[in-house]
């Protein structure tokens, strides 16, 4: 081997050594990097799982907070609706006394000045009652507690009765109501009470804000496209009254707003009526539109859709009973009043006396009523709902369980005005329902109904379950 070859070989060896060293260094560096990456990955994973655990805790805590808040909200809502029910009762009870006594007073011998004063008293009381009803209605709707009935009613007959109700008021104001009634009948499914409320409100407003001219009521029915039995309805109430400006139109359906503040002074009212009407129409799946020209008049139209109903087998005409003088056939009934409030006791007994009922029995609570009824001989009971010791509902249920020769006719007499209360009374076995404040007229009618029912059963009859199902 020459020196040159040896030198080349040495150079080659050196190169290989260097390459080997380079590769080794690179591998080691790669290993270090791999370890660093693994550690970083581990740390990141650990951090993630810690964060996840923390998050879970936070979510758990939030959930607990939320469900607590929900519970609180539900309790508050419940408390609010209970408060409403109690207030409703508490306000109506004394008002009942005021209105009842005023009515009694109006039937007594008064000078014409005193007569005027009593009439004013009655008017004020009545408008206060209307206001309370409106506020209760609005809060009920806002609380989502409004449930609409789906029962058949005859739209034309309903409008007949509402219009008839307002004719005297219109005539008094020198106005004419033109009700363009279509012929025949129009049976629909829906909530007649609420529709009556809307119509009454619009008519009442039309009369209030019109000084001369007419109020026109029209109704249109047409089939809804692509349906079998659905109808599109529009009820229009048009007046020739003071009308509204564009700005006034904008807020006319807002609660507690009236067209303007001077309206409040000149025309009175709370501004709740139209807000309620609008909410009711919306609850019916419809709407109320208004068009108006200042100084020319306004036109309110209610649009909704309803299912056609078949007419009941025998169409019972709507009969508006006149105030009847106490009929002698009613008087012999043995009547009991179950009522804890002394003012109301006094009032109802006075009213009954006016109707010819003497020797009315009195029970201060449900237990006393039950005890007296169990001795027999009670034919008709006017039963307050809320009483100490035993309330009217429990008392009624207990009375219905009694083995009597005949079951008494029980009329709920209560300041609780909600539909649910009416239902609860019916379920407890009561036959009729009178909400306070009760007028002589409504009491007379209820007594007449009780008397008719009792005589149709040719007393005494054995008490039967079916007996309690009678007309409420």
Partner 1 sequence: MKGVVFTEFLEMVESRFSADMVDDIIEDAGIKSGGAYTAVGSYPFAEMVALVTALSQRSGLEPQALIYTFGHHLFGRFALLYPYSIQGCSSAFMVLGNIEKHIHQEVQKLYPDAQLPQIEVLSSDERSMVLLYSSPRCLAPLASGLIQGALDHFGEQGRIGVEPLNDEGSKVRFVVDLV
Residues lying near partner 1 in the complex (CB under 8 A) are found at: 15, 18-19, 21-27, 29-30, 33-34, 37
Q: Give the orientation angle of helix 3-106 with respect to helix 112-142, to 10 degrees.
A: 160
- Between the CA of residue 162 and those of 159, 197, 200, 435, what are the distances in Å? 5, 9, 6, 20
- Between the CA of residue 300 and those of 45, 70, 146, 280, what are the distances in Å? 68, 40, 23, 14
Beta bridge partners of 435: 414
Beta carbon nearer to partner 1, 20 or 61? 20
Would you tell me how many other CB atoms lie within 10 Å of the CB of residue 263? 18
Beta carbon nearer to partner 1, 21 or 455? 21
Beta carbon nearer to partner 1, 22 or 176? 22
Beta carbon nearer to partner 1, 35 or 315? 35
- Cα 432 from Cα 98, distance rounded (Å): 24
Beta carbon nearer to partner 1, 16 or 83? 16
Q: What does the longest C-alpha to C-alpha distance in the chain come to?
A: 157
Question: Which residues neighbour 69 within 8 Å (Cβ) at sequence distance 6 or greater?
Answer: none
For 355-418, where are the alpha helices, taking DSSP H only? 366-374, 392-401
Both tokens assigned to 384: 């307050």
**In the complex, what is the shortest distance from the CB of residue 57 to partner 1, in angstroms, rounded to a whole number?**
30
**In the complex, what is the shortest distance from the CB of residue 27 to partner 1, in angstroms, rounded to a whole number?**
7
Beta carbon nearer to partner 1, 25 or 342? 25
- Cα 286 from Cα 281, distance rounded (Å): 5
In the chain, DSSP finds a helix count (H) and a strand count (E) of: 12, 12
**In the complex, what is the shortest distance from the CB of residue 56 to partner 1, in angstroms, rounded to a whole number?**
28
**In the complex, what is the shortest distance from the CB of residue 6 to partner 1, in angstroms, rounded to a whole number?**
18
Beta carbon nearer to partner 1, 29 or 178? 29
**In the complex, what is the shortest distance from the CB of residue 8 to partner 1, in angstroms, rounded to a whole number?**
11
Beta carbon nearer to partner 1, 24 or 80? 24
**In the complex, what is the shortest distance from the CB of residue 14 to partner 1, in angstroms, rounded to a whole number?**
9
By C-alpha distance, which of 317, 345, 316, 351 is closest to 447?
351
Identify whether the C-beta of residue 275 lies closer than 8 Å to the C-beta of residue 253: yes
- Cα 214 from Cα 174, distance rounded (Å): 9
**In the complex, what is the shortest distance from the CB of residue 52 to partner 1, in angstroms, rounded to a whole number?**
22
Angle at 414 between CA 409 and CA 420, to 5 degrees: 95
DSSP one-letter code for 308: B
**In the complex, what is the shortest distance from the CB of residue 35 to partner 1, in angstroms, rounded to a whole number?**
12
- Cα 53 from Cα 55, distance rounded (Å): 5
**In the complex, what is the shortest distance from the CB of residue 55 to partner 1, in angstroms, rounded to a whole number?**
24
- Cα 441 from Cα 353, distance rounded (Å): 13
């Amino acid at each position: 081997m020459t020196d040159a070859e040896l030198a080349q070989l040495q150079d080659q060896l050196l190169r290989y050594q260097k390459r080997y060293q380079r590769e080794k260094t690179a591998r080691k560096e790669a290993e270090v990097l791999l370890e660093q990456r693994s550690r970083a990955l581990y740390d990141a994973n650990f951090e993630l799982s810690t964060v996840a655990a923390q998050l879970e805790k936070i979510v758990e805590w939030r959930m607990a907070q939320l469900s607590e808040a929900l519970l609180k909200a539900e309790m508050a809502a419940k408390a609010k609706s209970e408060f409403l029910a109690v207030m409703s009762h508490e306000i109506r009870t004394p008002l009942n006394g005021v209105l009842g006594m005023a009515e009694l007073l109006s039937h007594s011998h008064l000078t014409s000045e005193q007569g005027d004063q009593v009439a004013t008293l009655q008017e004020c009381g009545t408008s206060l009652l209307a206001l309370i009803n409106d506020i209760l209605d609005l809060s009920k709707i806002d609380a989502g507690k409004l449930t609409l009935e789906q029962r058949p009613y005859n739209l034309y007959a309903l409008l007949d009765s509402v219009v008839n109700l307002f004719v005297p008021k219109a005539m008094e104001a020198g106005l004419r109501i033109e009700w363009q009634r279509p012929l025949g009948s129009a049976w629909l499914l829906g909530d007649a009470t609420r529709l009556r409320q809307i119509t009454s409100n619009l008519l009442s407003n039309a009369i209030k804000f019109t000084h001369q001219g007419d109020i026109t009521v029209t109704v249109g029915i047409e089939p809804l496209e692509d349906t079998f039995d659905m109808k599109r309805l529009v009820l229009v109430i048009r007046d020739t009254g003071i009308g509204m400006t564009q700005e006034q139109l904008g807020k006319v359906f807002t609660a507690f707003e009236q067209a303007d503040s001077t309206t409040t002074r000149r025309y009175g009212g709370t501004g709740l009526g139209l807000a309620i009407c609008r909410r009711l129409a919306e609850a019916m799946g419809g709407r109320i539109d208004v068009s108006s020209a200042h100084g020319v008049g306004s036109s309110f139209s209610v649009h909704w859709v309803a299912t056609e109903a078949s007419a009941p087998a025998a169409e019972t005409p709507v009969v508006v009973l006149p105030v009847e003088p106490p009929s002698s056939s009613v008087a012999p009934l043995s009547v009991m009043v179950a009522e804890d409030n002394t003012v109301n006791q006094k009032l109802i007994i006075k009213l009954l006396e006016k109707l010819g009922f003497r020797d009315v029995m009195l029970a201060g609570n449900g237990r006393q009523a039950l005890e007296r009824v169990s001795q027999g001989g009670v034919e008709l009971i006017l039963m307050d709902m809320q009483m100490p010791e035993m309330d009217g509902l429990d008392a009624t249920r207990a009375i219905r369980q009694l083995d009597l020769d005949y079951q008494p006719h029980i009329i709920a007499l209560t300041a609780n005005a909600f539909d649910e209360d009416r239902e609860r009374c019916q379920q407890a076995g009561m036959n009729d329902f009178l909400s306070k404040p009760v007028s002589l007229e409504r009491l007379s009618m209820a007594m007449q109904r009780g008397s008719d029912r009792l005589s149709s059963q040719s007393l005494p009859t054995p008490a039967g379950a079916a007996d309690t199902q009678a007309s409420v």
